[in-house]
């Protein structure tokens, strides 16, 4: 009897990770009804991670009203998880400071703030957590986590000793960092940052230049913000002795790791590795015969820490074959074959997006069934 691990991400806008796993199991079990199926819905530290880990670890969703990225109130959800030996909070920066919380014409990377995410962290500390996981995908901010630091009691001062306004561009006037009022509980917390990019804080490959435009930054704004973040990094170096201008991953979420590093002793991990470790997926892989993963869109970007690549790496290290199923395949997937045995798309003909989303469950189940049937044919042929 085969043990088959089904460990996909969601198909965004159509199927949750659990729904994807259920479709794949349904299709495969038509052909291999006696196999053992282990469904492990996954996420890569960004959108959907709270749902995946709450369901897997019997956690609870917490909701508080916090400041949104451009002001006003938003109801931000985070998860309280009970891990062995830890009371853990999982916070997504997108929940309080995300791009999806504002319309495209409201985007203002000069003044957008991560303050609300800092308020969510405070709520987690009030709940008595001793471990915090934060996912950095989908932020609307370019303030290098300054808003988070300010919410936690850190003071950012100009040359006259005045508090800086919220937002990234104000950091150009930063002259002093005062951490004396920082919440004392920060130092006693294990803090893991889920980060799927390697970009540094500043420069042509930094937070402002690479991610600023999608948050509404014009070329002139990018230049202003890059200079402001560079100044923040210089004042941080004077305060701590550490230069983070080119630190790997510090360009994520508008540079959020910089502000976080002033409040916490942070560890940066790929988001998918964080999730795989929390769910102890390695234990399930030890005696598996096949791994099936997938996501909505698969292309060369999948190599940048996406769910199918993360689980495939661990399976590949154990010589377990990997099949990946995507809602659609991009033009550049060849690089994935060094770690995945085969890759399939589910869309059977050119279709409008609404039809693709509407038929996702049927198409995915059918594709899984056809893959299983092909495996069965191959097995019979090998047997003679």
**Is the sign of the CA dihedral 260, 264, 268, 271 positive or negative?**
negative
164: tokens are 């800086």
Q: In what order do the strands lie in the sheet with 266-269?
A: 60-67, 73-83, 86-92, 131-135, 190-194, 266-269
Structure tokens at 358: 């509407």
In the numeric block, which tokens belong to residue 275? 């999730």
Q: What is the mean pLDDT of residues 88-104?
A: 94
pLDDT tens for 16-75 read: 999 999 999 999 999 999 999 999 999 888 778 888 999 888 899 999 999 999 999 999
Strands 60-67 and 73-83: antiparallel
Query: Distance between CA atoms of 175 and 232, rounded to whole angstroms?
Result: 8
Alpha-helix runs per DSSP H in the chain: 17-31, 49-57, 93-97, 115-126, 146-151, 219-240, 256-263, 271-278, 281-285, 307-317, 353-358, 360-382
Please report which confidence band the pLDDT of residue 78 belongs to, taking 50, 70 and 90 as the band edges.
very high
Calculate the average pLDDT of the chain. Answer: 92
Contacts of 348 (CB under 8 A, 6+ apart): 363, 366
Helix/strand/coil for 153: coil
Element (H or E) spanning 343, and its range?
strand 342-345
Q: CA torsion, points 294, 97, 133, 257, in degrees to nearest 10?
A: 100
Say what the pTM is: 0.84
Q: In the structure, what pLDDT confidence band is assigned to residue 384 with cuts at 50, 70 and 90?
A: low
- Look at residue 243 in the predicted model and tell me its pLDDT: 97
230-244 tens-digit pLDDT: 999 999 999 999 999
Per-residue pLDDT, 353: 65
pLDDT band at 331 (very low <50, low <70, confident <90, very high): confident
Tens of pLDDT, residues 278-326 = 999 999 999 999 999 999 888 877 877 789 999 999 999 999 999 999 9
pLDDT in tens, 136-161: 988 999 999 999 999 999 999 999 99
Q: Answer whether residue 181 shows pLDDT above 70.
A: yes
How many degrees, rounded to 5, is the angle at CA 203 between CA 202 and CA 209? 90
Q: Which residue has the higher pLDDT, 132 or 84?
A: 132
Domains of the chain: 3-42+280-382 (3.40.50.10350), 49-272 (3.90.1510.10)
* Distance, CA of 374 to CA of 381 (rounded, Å): 11
- Identify how many contiguous H helices and E strands the chain contains and give both numbers: 12, 13
Model confidence pLDDT, tens digit, residues 349-360: 556 666 666 678
Q: CA-to-CA distance for 370 and 287, rounded, in angstroms?
A: 25
Q: Please compute the mean of the pLDDT values over residues 341-346 and round it to a whole number.
A: 92
- For residue 347, pLDDT over 90 is answered with no
| 145 Cβ neighbours under 8 A, 6+ residues apart | 114, 253, 254, 255, 256, 257, 258, 259, 260
Distance, in Å, from the CA atom of 278 to the CA atom of 298, rounded to the nearest integer, reads 24
Kindly state the average pLDDT of the residues 366-380. Answer: 91
Q: Identify whether the C-beta of residue 303 lies closer than 8 Å to the C-beta of residue 323.
A: no
């Amino acid at each position: 009897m085969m043990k088959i691990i089904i460990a996909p991400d969601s198909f965004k806008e159509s199927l949750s990770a659990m729904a994807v796993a259920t479709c794949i199991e349904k299709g495969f079990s038509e052909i291999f009804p006696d196999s053992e199926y282990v469904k492990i819905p996954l996420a890569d530290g960004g959108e959907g991670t709270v749902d995946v880990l709450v369901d897997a670890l019997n956690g609870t969703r917490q909701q508080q009203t916090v400041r949104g990225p451009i002001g006003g109130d938003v109801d931000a959800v985070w998860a309280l998880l009970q891990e062995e030996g830890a009371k853990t909070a999982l916070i997504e920066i997108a929940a309080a400071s995300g791009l999806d919380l504002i319309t495209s014409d409201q985007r203002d990377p000069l003044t957008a703030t991560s303050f609300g995410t800092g308020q969510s962290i405070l709520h987690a500390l009030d709940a008595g957590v001793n471990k915090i996981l934060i996912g950095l995908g989908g932020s609307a901010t370019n303030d290098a986590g300054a808003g988070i630091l300010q919410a936690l009691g850190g003071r950012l001062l100009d040359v006259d000793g005045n508090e800086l306004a919220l937002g990234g561009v104000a950091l150009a006037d930063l002259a002093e960092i005062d951490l004396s009022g920082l919440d004392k509980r920060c130092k006693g917390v294990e803090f893991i940052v889920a980060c799927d990019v390697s970009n540094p804080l500043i420069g042509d490959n930094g937070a402002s230049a690479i991610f600023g435009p999608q948050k509404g930054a014009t070329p002139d704004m990018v230049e202003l913000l890059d200079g402001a973040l560079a100044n923040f990094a210089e004042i941080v170096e004077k305060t701590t002795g550490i230069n983070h201008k080119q630190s790997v991953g510090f360009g994520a979420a508008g540079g959020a790791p910089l502000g976080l590093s002033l409040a916490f002793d942070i560890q940066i991990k790929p988001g998918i590795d964080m999730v795989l470790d929390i769910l102890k997926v390695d234990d399930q892989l030890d005696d598996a015969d096949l791994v099936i993963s997938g996501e909505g869109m698969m292309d060369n970007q999948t190599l940048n820490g996406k769910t199918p690549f993360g689980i495939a790496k661990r399976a590949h290290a154990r010589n377990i074959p990997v099949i990946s199923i995507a809602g659609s395949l991009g033009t550049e997937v060849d690089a994935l074959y060094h770690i995945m045995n085969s890759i399939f798309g589910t869309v059977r003909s050119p279709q409008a997006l609404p039809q693709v989303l509407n038929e996702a469950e049927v198409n995915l189940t059918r594709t899984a069934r056809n893959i299983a049937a092909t495996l069965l044919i191959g097995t019979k042929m090998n047997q003679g």
